[in-house]
Amino acid sequence: MARHASPLQSLLVDDRLDADVYPNEPMARHTTLRIGGPARFYVRAGSISALSAVVALCTEESIPWTVVGRGSNLLVADEGFDGVVISLGRDFRCIQVNEDDYSIVAGGGALLSAVVQETFRRNWQGLEFAVGTPGTVGGALAMNAGTRDQGMGSAVRSVTVMDGRGRLEKLPGSSVQWGYRSSSISGVVVECELQAATCDPFYIRGKMEAALAKRQQTQPLGQMSCGSVFKNPSGASAAQMIEGCGLKGAARGDAQVSDKHANFIVNNGAATAADMAALMRDIQQKVREAYGIELAPEVRFLGF
Ligand SMILES: Cc1cc2nc3c(=O)[nH]c(=O)nc-3n(C[C@H](O)[C@H](O)[C@H](O)COP(=O)(O)OP(=O)(O)OC[C@H]3O[C@@H](n4cnc5c(N)ncnc54)[C@H](O)[C@@H]3O)c2cc1C
């Protein structure tokens, strides 16, 4: 390493660091929208000690950092993110099922779909609302992902979080504030315990299959998107309002309001974050004029 390497560079090239490090990594590779400029460093941490070392050093050196899952709810600026993007690798992807008390311990980097599948196979209820939701367990807890009526928080027995100094804390699920597509969790979700319950196999199979079929009918699943772009205002549907403004099919560059679901914006191939942001502003303006309601983004922004 050059004599004038920064402490961060020195850490990231250290062979003992259990992490894969990608400098100037295009974030378009890590978002379901396939949009986003480069992160100064993209670091896939393989273990708690690697995660702790990176997070603590970034905090100490005042280097901006963030954690991402599958980028399924993320709009990254075309200019990218001048900091460290951390994703959770190997040790964070474990899923342990406890048949005795219908609980599951899952790492923050495990796929939510894999966890849901474990409950489905055993005819357990508690996570059926999450069927078909992409992303990781960590992202799902941070977002309190789910439906309008139910979110991940309802199934969380405990969550283990790493703070900006690299310290771990295990919180009871009941001590977290679970909001609509938000949670009071700050720091990195490294693990959680989820509580399910036994259930009639026909009931659970029926519920899951109906939820999947509804998704297939109503969402543009074959296209690049980040799911619902805006939160539903209380007592109203963002999709209905956007459709009511005649905005289905409206476009800015290659970013287009889906013909199938008006609260989805799809990337037709070469959309930029600027196209997405401009289309979101168009939608907000039209809905404000027509309904007097300010739509709040559900998608999270990085680098703006
Ligand atoms: C086709 C499609 C359908 C969707 N359907 C739904 C749906 O039905 N319901 C729903 O709620 N969402 C839905 N989404 C949105 C998205 O899948 C969820 O919000 C998902 O939980 C995000 O998980 P992720 O791992 O991709 O997180 P990312 O998009 O990578 O990150 C989202 C946020 O979570 C934070 N985060 C990620 N990992 C961690 C972690 N380990 N610790 C702390 N913070 C973290 C990030 O910093 C960011 O702020 C859909 C998206 C798509 C593309």
* CATH classification at residue 288: 3.90.78.10
Is the beta carbon of 116 within 6 A of some atom in ligand 1?
A: no
Mean pLDDT across the chain: 96
Average pLDDT of the residues in 152-166: 98
Q: Report how far ligand 1's centroid is from the alpha carbon of 274 (Å).
A: 21
Ligand 1 atom with the shortest distance to the CA of 73: 29
181 catalytic? Reply is yes
Give yes or no for a contact between 96 and 65, defined as CB atoms under 8 angstroms apart: no
Tell me, using a 6 A CB cutoff, whether residue 196 lines ligand 1. Answer: no
Q: Could you tell me if the CB of 142 is within 6 A of ligand 1?
A: yes
Tell me, yes or no, if 40 is annotated catalytic: no
Q: What CATH number does residue 30 fall under?
A: 3.30.43.10
Same domain? 111 vs 54: no
Q: Which pLDDT value is given to residue 3?
A: 60
pTM for the predicted model, two decimal places: 0.96
Residue 138 lies in a domain: yes
Closest to 249 in 3D by CA, of 233, 266, 235: 266
Give the helix/strand (H/E) hosting 97: strand 95-98
pLDDT bin (cut points 50, 70, 90) of residue 86 is very high
By the 10 Å C-beta count (0-12 exposed, 13-18 middle, 19+ buried), 222 is classed as: exposed
Final residue of a domain: which of 203, 230, 253? Answer: 203
Residue with tokens 């690299």: 166
Kindly state if the Cβ of 89 falls inside 6 Å of ligand 1: no
What mean pLDDT comes out for the span 102-123?
96
CA distance 104 to 259: 38
Position 183 in a domain:
yes
CATH number assigned to the domain comprising residue 172 = 3.30.465.10
Residues 156 and 59 in one domain: no
> From the CB of 67, is ligand 1 less than 6 Å away?
yes
- For 4-57, the pLDDT digits (tens) are 789 999 999 999 999 999 999 999 999 999 999 999 999 999 999 999 999 999
In the residue annotation, 298 being an active-site residue is answered as yes
Which of 58, 90, 122 finishes a domain?
90
- Note whether residue 296 is domain-resident: yes
Look up residue 230 and give its DSSP letter: B
From residue 115, alpha-carbon distances to 6, 24, 133 in Å are: 40, 32, 11
Q: How many domains does the chain have?
A: 3
CA of 74 to the centre of ligand 1 (A): 7
* Neighbouring-strand partners of residue 266: 256
Pairing of strands 300-302, 95-98: unpaired
Q: Mark whether 188 and 119 lie in a shared domain.
A: yes
Distance (Å, whole) CA 261 – CA 53? 43
Same domain? 109 vs 86? no
Residue 258 pLDDT > 90:
yes
Give the per-residue pLDDT at 5.
Answer: 87
The torsion angles phi and psi of 212, rounded to 5 degrees, stand at -65, -45
Query: Considering the domain boundaries, does residue 215 fall inside one?
Result: no
The per-residue pLDDT for 284 is 98
Determine, yes or no, domain membership for 22: yes
CB-CB contact of 166 with 51 (8 Å) = yes
Instruction: State which ligand 1 atom lies nearest to the alpha carbon of 109.
Output: 41
**Ligand 1 within 6 A of 139 CB?**
yes
Tokens 């490090």 sit on residue: 21
CA distance 132 to 208: 9
Same domain, 115 and 131: yes
Tokens at residue 171, please?
């919180």
Amino acid at 284: Q
- Domain assignment present for residue 238? The answer is yes
Q: Is 123 left (phi over 0), alpha (psi -120 to 50) or beta?
A: left
Q: Are residues 245 and 259 in the same domain?
A: yes
Widest CA span of the chain, in angstroms?
66
User: Residue 232 sits in which domain range?
Assistant: 220-302
Residue nearest to atom 3 of ligand 1 (CA): 227
End position of a domain, from candidates 203, 228, 259: 203
